Amino acid sequence: ANNTVKTAASSQTQGHNPRRGVGTAAMNRAILDHLHFTMARLPALASRNDWYMALSHAVRDRMLDDWLASLHHFRNKELKVVSYLSAEFLLGPHLGNNLINTGMWDAARDAVESLGLTLEDLLRQEEEPGLGNGGLGRLAACYLDSLATLRIPSIGYGIRYEFGIFDQLIRDGWQVETADKWLKFGNPWEICRSEIAYEVKMGGHTEYHHDADGRLAIAWLPVKVIKGVAYDTPIAGYRSRITGLLRLWKSEAVESFNFQAFNAGEYYHAVDEKVVSESITKVLYPNDEPGVGKLLRLAQQYFFVSCSLQDMIRVHLLRSPRLEEFDQTFAVQMNDTHPSLAVAELMRLLVDEHGLGWDAAWKVTRSTMAYTNHTLLPEALEKWPLQLFANLLPRHLEIVYEINRRFLDEVSQAYPGDQARLARMSLIEETGGKFVRMANLASVGSHAINGVAHLHTELLKETVLADFYQMTPGKFCNVTNGVTPRRWVLLSNPGLARLISESIGEEWVTAPEKLRKLERFASDPSFLSAWRWVKDANKRALAATILERTGVTVDPESLFDIQVKRIHEYKRQHLNLLHILTLYHRIKRDPGAQIPPRTFIFGGKAAPGYFMAKLIIKLINSVAEVVNTDPEVAGRLKVVFFPDFNVTNGQLIYPAADLSEQISTSGKEASGTGNMKFSLNGALTIGTLDGANVEIREEVGEENFFLFGLNATEVQALKKSGYHPGRFYEEDGELREAIDAVRSGLFSHGDAGLFQPLVDHLLYDDEYLALADYRSYLECQERVSTAFRQRELWSVKSVLNVARMGKFSSDRSIREYCEKIWKVPIRPPFPH
Ligand code: CR6
């Protein structure tokens, strides 16, 4: 990386700055040039993908000018760089977002039209990079947008998975997974940096010896060395003239061929090593709440953390030779525990490879690192079987032991004789098999620990990390999640964005607290009808896509009641189903019943190995089949499972919702971010007091939020006193009717056994208290129906929701990280 060739141009600090034209004519020229020189195509023979690629390259060129200027910050000693370590970045398609953020949308649209194409068609051509499972990965993507918008020097570090989250097909009502070959037609947004590459060791053992000066030296003799190559993607800030950097690592063999084997004629063996090395970044693990893991996943985590830290050290050494000052160059955020090996790896790099003493290394490690926790579910807290860890990372295990030894000394000094506490806080779990506890490692190695919503942080302090909180309360803080209004309103809901900007100006895009100005329009009938017109148009667009993808016709006039998110029992898609079944039975009992028409839309992927979640998908589709075709229902209820929920589909779905389902068991959803996207697009929420729902309700006002169910304290109390779901079943006739219908075979062509596991689980276990909240949910849904009948009042509530959602912009979250955790100054907004 230091082999820069000195030229006349390289002595100019800003380098060559060609500043490409962004007008229609210049864009038109650039697209044709790329079609010719990059895609090697004649216009007459070009496919839609060729045009998409040509346009994207033209847009990327224009982002590079700002990018090269931004990269310059990394050398400026005065500016601390935020390094966001995340195993997932769920970016969504780039083209539209980049056009919006750089302000090139109109020019691109006109240029494309002058070539006889439409921008819409080319936008549809993009295969989204699905490099994440759900909320956590999408949060990382929103944060990159905000970092660039707020002009904070930053790098997102992650993994360039060759296959992202699987594509979901629905066959006979079941989820079928297919490989996500997102790179198959090329990726115009990334730049491969073959020269930015690092070696990563794995396996083997360690040896100790004394060097020439008599000092103890440690050698790690690995069995394998893999190369990580940087692939960079520019991230446009919104009109900030800053382009942020996402650097993803791809694994490669250090040498593509084992020449010894090759010479011996064993051709296949010769490429083995290449295949194994490349497998590290092959595929994203499709679990959003991972349990005890697999060797390959640990290898992925170590691989990307090691490449990233080596890269940061290289950048730091460009500024200063003193690694004791590393924390002045970088603030490192660990997005959950997936990157928590960074604590041990930074220690290893500093001590073993750069000769720092342990204490100095520990001091700088701790003041650099910070940890965000994203879950309280005990089964989702990462821990690695000790033997597996030792086999892959023998040196890191020694380091973990040393960190632990010193840490437990501190614990016993603070709490003499408290053996139970020592056992709980240890980095090593020793009850029933030995494990390395990653949340403990991350907590000990960080100067700051945060949860992702107020309630979540409080529960974190009381439960999962209680011991750590008691010992070091000052480390803990909350940063409630946020979402970017650029992608989630400007791009996905242009009609709403236009109406808002026409009414209150455009400042809300970067200063969403200004949305409050909409409050006074909530009493303006013509504004309200324009508001409704926008929503109705979005609903019609979604209805058309539903018809195309599922064959189901839905009525855009009906209430669009939507639950899109990963399928998980704690999110309680089955509670939603129980409501649908109850309405169905009410209609069957009384075909004339006054039930305002509703369209229930579900979407979300189930982890391929999560049987119950997959059965829930099957049940949704089975109920849909019966309800949608029952003549007595007469179209009043429609049930739709929208296949392959992802960012692209989300952009169509959130803007079309009337009602947002946020119905998790209180205390289980750390924050949620879909809840924010819905409400920011004018949906009203039906929800429990869980995660960020609590704060959303506080902001929008309780009269504009449909609350039901047990709160987190009541959930804990009920569990403690002994929860018997069967009682709810026995005592509530409508609930019984709904469950009995499922087990009768009514929805499974008479096959009574099909849904038995789900029914049994509800009746005899119901870990997530669906039955306990059923009646309260039903009553709340009746309030929803009543409210929806008064369309004008509903629209007022919808406007007030949007007006009061400013807090949930990811810009606010990033500002809080800067102040509370990273100690990075916020620069004044860029004058547009
Ligand atoms: N699954 C939480 O469950 C939260 C996001 C982002 C999750 C969700 O409530 O909004 O993180 N947790 O903070 C994990 O991924 C471990 C999620 O997306």
Task: Give residue-wise pLDDT tens across range 615-663.
Answer: 999 999 999 999 999 999 999 999 999 999 999 999 999 999 999 999 9
Q: Which of 250-259, 302-311, 368-377 has the lowest mean pLDDT?
A: 250-259
Query: What residue owns the CA closest to ligand 1's atom 10?
Result: 672
- Nearest-atom index, ligand 1, CA of 691: 9
In a 13 Å sphere around the CA of 800, the CA atoms on its Cβ side amount to 20
The DSSP letter of residue 589 is: H
Q: Which of 9-23, 266-280, 436-450, 798-812 has the lowest mean pLDDT?
A: 9-23
The whole-number pLDDT of residue 271 equals 72
Q: Which CATH superfamily is domain 554-809 in?
A: Glycogen Phosphorylase B; (3.40.50.2000)
Complex ipTM > 0.85: yes
Task: Give residue-wise pLDDT tens across range 721-732.
Answer: 999 999 999 999
Å from CA of 375 to ligand 1 middle = 6
Name the pLDDT band for 8 (thresholds 50, 70, 90): very low
Statement: residue 708 has pLDDT above 70: yes
Mean pLDDT across the stretch 766-785?
Answer: 98
Q: What angle do CA 518, 524, 529 make, to 5 degrees?
A: 95
Å from CA of 451 to ligand 1 middle = 10
Report the SS3 class of residue 241: coil
Q: Cβ < 6 Å from ligand 1: which residues?
A: 134-136, 139, 288-289, 336, 374-375, 380, 452, 481, 669-673, 691
Query: What residue owns the CA closest to ligand 1's atom 14?
Result: 374
Mean pLDDT across the stretch 572-595?
Answer: 96
The whole-number pLDDT of residue 14 equals 44
Mean pLDDT across the stretch 327-350?
Answer: 98
The region, left, alpha or beta by phi > 0 then psi within -120 to 50, assigned to residue 214 is left
The whole-number pLDDT of residue 12 equals 45
The whole-number pLDDT of residue 5 equals 55
719 is catalytic: no
566 is catalytic: yes
- Nearest-atom index, ligand 1, CA of 139: 6
Q: What angle do CA 817, 650, 583 make, to 5 degrees?
A: 115
The region, left, alpha or beta by phi > 0 then psi within -120 to 50, assigned to residue 823 is left
**CA distances (Å), origin 729, targets 303, 583, 770:** 50, 17, 11
434 is catalytic: no
374 is catalytic: yes
DSSP secondary structure string, 254-322? Answer: SSSS-HHHHHTT-HHHHHHHHHHHHHTTSB----SS--S--HHHHHHHHHHHHHHHHHHHHHHHHH-S-
**CA distances (Å), origin 829, targets 138, 148, 241, 497:** 25, 11, 11, 21
The whole-number pLDDT of residue 1 equals 40
Query: H or E segment at 48?
Result: helix 48-71
Residue among 77, 92, 454, 137 nearest 290 (CA): 137
Active site residue: 571, 574, 618, 804, which one? 571
Residue linked to tokens 């789900």? 758
The whole-number pLDDT of residue 68 equals 86
Å from CA of 671 to ligand 1 middle = 7
Query: What residue owns the CA closest to ligand 1's atom 12?
Result: 374
The whole-number pLDDT of residue 9 equals 46
677 is catalytic: yes
Residue linked to tokens 């003193």? 322
What distance in Å separates the CA atoms of residue 738 and residue 805, rounded to the nearest whole number?
36
The whole-number pLDDT of residue 287 equals 84
Å from CA of 338 to ligand 1 middle = 13
Statement: residue 381 has pLDDT above 80: yes
Share of the chain above pLDDT 90, in %: 88
- Nearest-atom index, ligand 1, CA of 289: 16
Average pLDDT, the chain: 94
Active site residue: 250, 316, 319, 566, which one? 566
The whole-number pLDDT of residue 257 equals 59
Instruction: Yes or no: say if 409 and 315 are a contact pair by the CB < 8 Å rule.
Output: no
Task: Give residue-wise pLDDT tens across range 485-528.
Answer: 999 999 999 999 999 999 999 999 999 999 999 999 999 999 99
Active site residue: 94, 338, 565, 743, which one? 565
Å from CA of 336 to ligand 1 middle = 9
Write down how long the chain is.
Answer: 832
Query: H or E segment at 341?
Result: helix 341-348
Q: b or e along 388-405 (b: 16 or more beta carbons within 10 Å of the residue's beta carbon)? A: bbbbbbbbbbbbbeebbe
Statement: residue 4 has pLDDT above 80: no
Q: What angle do CA 241, 183, 289 make, to 5 degrees?
A: 85
Residue among 161, 177, 158, 58 nearest 111 (CA): 58
Å from CA of 379 to ligand 1 middle = 14
**Helix 95-102 vs helix 48-71: crossing angle, to nearest 10:** 50
- H-helix segments, 445-558: 454-462, 466-471, 485, 494-504, 525-550
Q: Is the dihedral of CA 126, 131, 132, 135 positive or negative?
A: negative
Instruction: Yes or no: say if 151 and 830 are a contact pair by the CB < 8 Å rule.
Output: yes
